[in-house]
Amino acid sequence: MAGLQTGSVVYRPVACVLGDLAEFLGRDGSAHYARAVRIAERVGSAHWAREAAEAHAGALGRDRG
């Protein structure tokens, strides 16, 4: 990637992306979001932990029936 040597790139936890994919496919993504929260907390990223927690709460509240 151009400029990678002089800058930084930040991506959210892959588990969050997997949760989004599961939800898109009509499946329960809550386990993925829960893992994303743990990963974000472990690396000290409050922003990603908060986003994953919100997605987790939304996934738990969805009716799939």
Q: How far apart are CA 6 and CA 42, in angstroms?
A: 26
Which residues, 6 or more positions from 46, have their beta carbon under 8 angstroms from its beta carbon?
40
How would you write the pLDDT of the chain (65 residues) with one tens digit per residue? 555 565 555 688 999 999 999 999 999 999 999 999 999 999 999 999 999 999 999 998 877 66
Q: What is the pTM of this model?
A: 0.79
Q: What is the 3-state secondary structure (H, E, C) of the chain?
A: CCCCCCCCCCCCCHHHHHHHHHHHCCCCCHHHHHHHHHHHHHCCCHHHHHHHHHHHHHHHHCCCC
